[in-house]
Every structure is written in C-alpha cells, then in structure tokens.
A and B are shown apart, each in its own frame.
Chain A
C-alpha cells in the first residue's frame, strides 16, 4: 500500500510531531522509496521457514526478582518543570 500525504499527516499526528504541509509530500515520497526497497524481500520464497526473531542467537537475559533500584526521587525528578511533594506536576489531563 503506497503511503500518501494523508497517511503521513496521520502518522505525524499520532506521534505528536508537527510536519508542515510541504514536508508531508516529500516524506510520503521518501517513505514509499524505503517501503518498495523493503518490499523486494517479498520476492524471496519463505515457505517452510520459521520466522527468525533474532540474528544473534542469544535468548532474552533475565533478572532475578530482587529489589535493587528505586529510592532516587531527586534523580527521577531532576528534569521536571514542576513538582510538588514528590509528584510530577503537569497540565490537567482528565477525561
């Protein structure tokens, strides 16, 4: 499915990124180029081939269930524009 300008505008809105009208067309063209390049992979016959989830052969490392972190409120809140009694304070977001 080729990407048109409307799709670019929608993706931009979902990602909360402002993209000007002129740029939308440019990006649509670029994205179509990338997608058609990736589409070439579809020419390979993958019947009876299991999906490959990782090329490294590693499996997911896991951690033990031990509390090793937390209690660093100063660092967590270091960049906030506004804070009160340990909370982040943001413009009201309520349904």
Chain B
C-alpha cells in the first residue's frame, strides 16, 4: 500500500479529511410545501406562501422525501431511526425568509453507516458515515447584477436536502474524491438524488486538518460549497499545503470557515462573522416528531435496486473482471446495465475490455454520452462474438467498431459489406506466404542465417498482402514452418 503521508520540511504529516455532502432529494415537490422542486423555472415561480415564510403558514412534510432519505440510509448500510426530530437552525440571511432553516440536529433520520470507496490502484476501503439528516435548502442570491443590490430567487428555498456527514476517515484528496464519486454513484443508483454537481444538486463542505502520524487530531478548517470533484481535490491540496506551512513556521491553525476561489484554486478565510456558529437549535414547534414504521423501512429495503458494490463483487467474482475495470463499469448505473446486456452470452472479460477502451474512448473523443450512442449493447456483444469465433481479428474489429459507432449498423453486416471476414483458410494463407517469401529472397536468406527478428517483418508483409484479413495466429504458425524448414 502506498503511503498517504505528506512530506514537509520538518518531517511527515498525516492528512485528516471529513466531508459533509449536501444532496438534493429527487422529488416532485419541496420538503414542507406543495411547490415544485424542479430546477430552471422563472425567478420565484416555484414558491408557495410556506416557502416565502408568510405569517401563519405551516409546514407539512413530504412523505416521499422521507422515503428517499430512508432509501439512501439503507444504501449506505446505515441505521434508520424510526423516530427523528426536526429542529430550527437559526440565522439571518437574505435568501432565508424564515430566519431559520428546518433541519435535524440531535435526532437525525439516519445514523451510522459506511461506504466503500474504490481507489485508483484497484483497492477498496470503508469510510464511516456519521449520520444523514433531512433539511431545507436556502434560496439563491445573485450579487453580480447590480452595484449595490442583491437579487433573491426563492425557487430553491425549501427544496429537500440530505446532509450526509462522513467520519474523518479520509487521508488524501484522492480518497475524498473517491468518496464523493462513490456516494454520487450510490445516490444515482438509488434514484434519491440526480447527482448533478453543475446544477448544484450535490455539493460538499470539506473539513481538513493535518497532524504528525500517531498524534491527536489537529485543528481543522472547513471549506464550503465545492461543486466539482476537481474543486474538492484542489481545495484539500491547497489547505494541506497551507496548514503544513503555518505549522512548520511555528504558527497555529485557526478553526474557521473558508471559501474556495475557483479561478485561483486557493481558499481564503470568510470575513469572520461573530457568533456565526451560534445557531440556537431547538425542536421546531410547528412539527411533531417524524415517526416511521419498521414495516415501511422493510418495504423500502425490498424495493432497493442492486447497488454498485454488489454488482462489482459479481463482476469480479463471477465474470473474472479486474477490480479496476469493474469499478469503471459500475460507476454509472446506465453503464452497468449496458455492460450486462452487451456481455450476456459473450466473453465477459473481452466485452469489458472493448467497452472500457474502445467504446468509452470513442464516446470521449466525440463528446457523446452512452444514452445517445448509436451502438446498442447487443451490437457490441456480437462484435466481440465475431472476434471470439475467429470471424475477424481484433485489429479488423477496431475498423468494424469505428463504422458501427458512426452508423449504428450490426457488426456482421459491416463485415459482410466491406468483405472484412478473416481468412482462416490455410491454403489461401499459404499462397500469400509463398508470394511474400518469393518477393523477399534476400530477407529470407538473412533470417535463415540467424537474423530472427525479421520474423515480424514477414508477418507484417503477409498481413498487408491480405488486407489485414488473414488470421494472425495461423499466419504465425504457417510462416514459422515455412521459414524454418
């Protein structure tokens, strides 16, 4: 295992990272009102009088949001709390009309769980989940529209969020990125959050501290509102370097909230708000405790789809895929389903290879997504089938694939149309070899005199003569007997 320690001037440091992820719950309506939770409406269109905090309006919790939180908890192998309590978290901001956010403080709906992260070297590790609670999102402020005014849109106000808090179990920015990637993947499999980071459906606050290996935890900083994996890694790497430099110079870390500047990749302290963290939580008197039955939890558990870890275990154990290939394939549910359909009845490993290398390569290059791609799962499978049964070589298959990717035609018909079928007729191959040997007498003499590396030259010539269609295995074999006799 590679070490995650960071070298400073005065020795090594261990990095400690915990994440708070805010995931927008997929639902039609908001957490406590009947207004739409959809993204992209006109300013203040999706706002009810509850969201606008008009006096006398009362919140009524959305049952589906509760179910989504439970599903997510189950997907994170977490304890589900049948009784949980909504609290008021009090603070003043222009985009929070109530003057408090309804959240869950002492008794969240989901307790401790764990999440398995997949690291780039193919290894896996469990990261502890401390809790998951339901809360309201705030509105959106725009500060760049007017020199002295801010514009407020309350469409997002009251939309349900799940705040998912990890244990401080991560030791590098790479692990933190792997955690968010895996969490996003699980949420998308479950259908409880669309995971769209650009639209802000998933954002993370990162808590970072450093310490000497084996020592007590250092003082941490919290960098808020990171909405891409790249920003999460940059913010952590910057914080680690900054904190180590301060500590090695004999300074102290201030426990503070910091903001990330996406243009410079640096963090800076928020203008410190006095009492900013004194939220004076108390149970919301408008809401009774949230009670769910074990029966409902059991029913939700029955309805869960197969999750990425289960699929990964199946792909590695039953199909023999490498941990890395399996991790790539299972990250998106859509990809996993594509793979299952494509590899059914064909060489599972070879299909995985073709999918991760050729198909993903072509998608990346053309900027397409799998759902818009012309190649259907069965078509990729049958292409691999043609390689397996020797109809075409792997090399020809790449050309066939290129045509398939462009046109969406079947492999078999492309092979037929273009006359690409592999030549496995030994008579035909022998004839080709004879032609090549006759045309290169001097090379044959050199080869027979001991210049063995010329063998590759002959293979190349024969393949060229055949237009790439000769069966390479047979060419090697026959050529060897001809030249060596």
B1 located at the interface, meaning its Cβ lies under 8 Å from any Cβ of chain A in the complex = no
A39 located at the interface, meaning its Cβ lies under 8 Å from any Cβ of chain B in the complex = no
A47 located at the interface, meaning its Cβ lies under 8 Å from any Cβ of chain B in the complex = no
* Given A53-B85, A60-B290, A70-B36: A65 and B152 interface contact (C-beta under 8 Å): no
Whether A60 contacts B291 by the Cβ 8 Å rule is yes
* Given A70-B46, A90-B94: A65 and B149 interface contact (C-beta under 8 Å): no
Chain A, residue nearest B149 (CB) = A89
Whether A94 contacts B90 by the Cβ 8 Å rule is no
* Given A64-B64, A65-B62: A53 and B288 interface contact (C-beta under 8 Å): yes
Roughly how many angstroms separate A85 CA and B50 CA in the complex, as a whole number? Answer: 22
B238 located at the interface, meaning its Cβ lies under 8 Å from any Cβ of chain A in the complex = no
B63 located at the interface, meaning its Cβ lies under 8 Å from any Cβ of chain A in the complex = yes
Whether B43 contacts A86 by the Cβ 8 Å rule is yes
Chain B, residue nearest A54 (CB) = B288
A13 located at the interface, meaning its Cβ lies under 8 Å from any Cβ of chain B in the complex = yes
B142 located at the interface, meaning its Cβ lies under 8 Å from any Cβ of chain A in the complex = yes
Whether B28 contacts A71 by the Cβ 8 Å rule is no
**Residues from 270 to 315 in B contacting A, C-beta threshold 8 Å:** 270-271, 275, 278, 280, 283, 287-291
Which residues of chain B are within 8 angstroms of A95 by Cβ–Cβ distance? 259, 270-271
Which residues of chain A are within 8 angstroms of B150 by Cβ–Cβ distance? 89-94
B148 located at the interface, meaning its Cβ lies under 8 Å from any Cβ of chain A in the complex = yes
Roughly how many angstroms separate A66 CA and B65 CA in the complex, as a whole number? Answer: 11
Whether A76 contacts B43 by the Cβ 8 Å rule is no
Roughly how many angstroms separate A26 CA and B153 CA in the complex, as a whole number? Answer: 41
* Given A69-B48, A91-B149: A14 and B275 interface contact (C-beta under 8 Å): yes
Whether B154 contacts A88 by the Cβ 8 Å rule is yes
* Given A14-B90, A14-B275: A76 and B151 interface contact (C-beta under 8 Å): no
* Given A69-B34, A71-B45: A62 and B61 interface contact (C-beta under 8 Å): yes
B47 located at the interface, meaning its Cβ lies under 8 Å from any Cβ of chain A in the complex = yes
Chain A, residue nearest B66 (CB) = A62
Whether B44 contacts A86 by the Cβ 8 Å rule is yes
B60 located at the interface, meaning its Cβ lies under 8 Å from any Cβ of chain A in the complex = yes
**Residues from 44 to 95 in A contacting B, C-beta threshold 8 Å:** 53-54, 56, 58-73, 75-77, 82, 84-95
* Given A14-B278, A73-B47, A86-B43: A66 and B289 interface contact (C-beta under 8 Å): no
* Given A70-B47, A76-B44: A53 and B289 interface contact (C-beta under 8 Å): yes
Whether B62 contacts A63 by the Cβ 8 Å rule is yes
**Per a CB cutoff under 8 Å, which of A58, A67, A77, A87 touches B36?**
A67
> Shortest Cβ distance from A78 into chain B, in angstroms?
9
Which residues of chain A are within 8 angstroms of B280 by Cβ–Cβ distance? 14
B29 located at the interface, meaning its Cβ lies under 8 Å from any Cβ of chain A in the complex = yes
B185 located at the interface, meaning its Cβ lies under 8 Å from any Cβ of chain A in the complex = no
* Given A59-B289, A95-B271: A65 and B48 interface contact (C-beta under 8 Å): no
Which residues of chain B are within 8 angstroms of A13 by Cβ–Cβ distance? 275
* Given A59-B289, A66-B34, A87-B43: A76 and B154 interface contact (C-beta under 8 Å): yes
**Residues from 62 to 110 in B contacting A, C-beta threshold 8 Å:** 62-66, 83, 85, 90, 92-94
B217 located at the interface, meaning its Cβ lies under 8 Å from any Cβ of chain A in the complex = no
Whether A64 contacts B52 by the Cβ 8 Å rule is no
Whether A92 contacts B148 by the Cβ 8 Å rule is yes
Whether A70 contacts B35 by the Cβ 8 Å rule is yes
Which residues of chain A are within 8 angstroms of B151 by Cβ–Cβ distance? 84, 87-89
Q: Which residues of A contact B (CB under 8 A)?
A: 10, 13-14, 16, 53-54, 56, 58-73, 75-77, 82, 84-95
Q: A60-B289, A93-B94 are in contact. List 13 more A-B contacts (CB 8 A).
A: A14-B90, A14-B275, A59-B291, A60-B61, A60-B291, A62-B62, A63-B29, A63-B60, A70-B35, A72-B49, A73-B45, A85-B43, A86-B45
Q: Which residues of B contact A (CB under 8 A)?
A: 27-29, 33-36, 42-50, 52, 60-66, 83, 85, 90, 92-94, 141-143, 146-154, 259, 270-271, 275, 278, 280, 283, 287-291
Some 28 contacts from A to B, beta carbons below 8 A apart, are A10-B275, A14-B275, A58-B288, A59-B288, A60-B290, A60-B291, A61-B60, A63-B29, A64-B64, A65-B65, A66-B29, A67-B34, A68-B34, A69-B29, A69-B49, A71-B45, A72-B47, A73-B42, A77-B44, A82-B149, A85-B43, A86-B42, A87-B142, A88-B151, A89-B149, A91-B148, A93-B93, A94-B150
Report, nearest first, the 9 A-B pairs whose CB atoms are least far apart: A65-B64, A68-B34, A69-B34, A86-B43, A69-B48, A70-B35, A88-B152, A87-B151, A62-B63
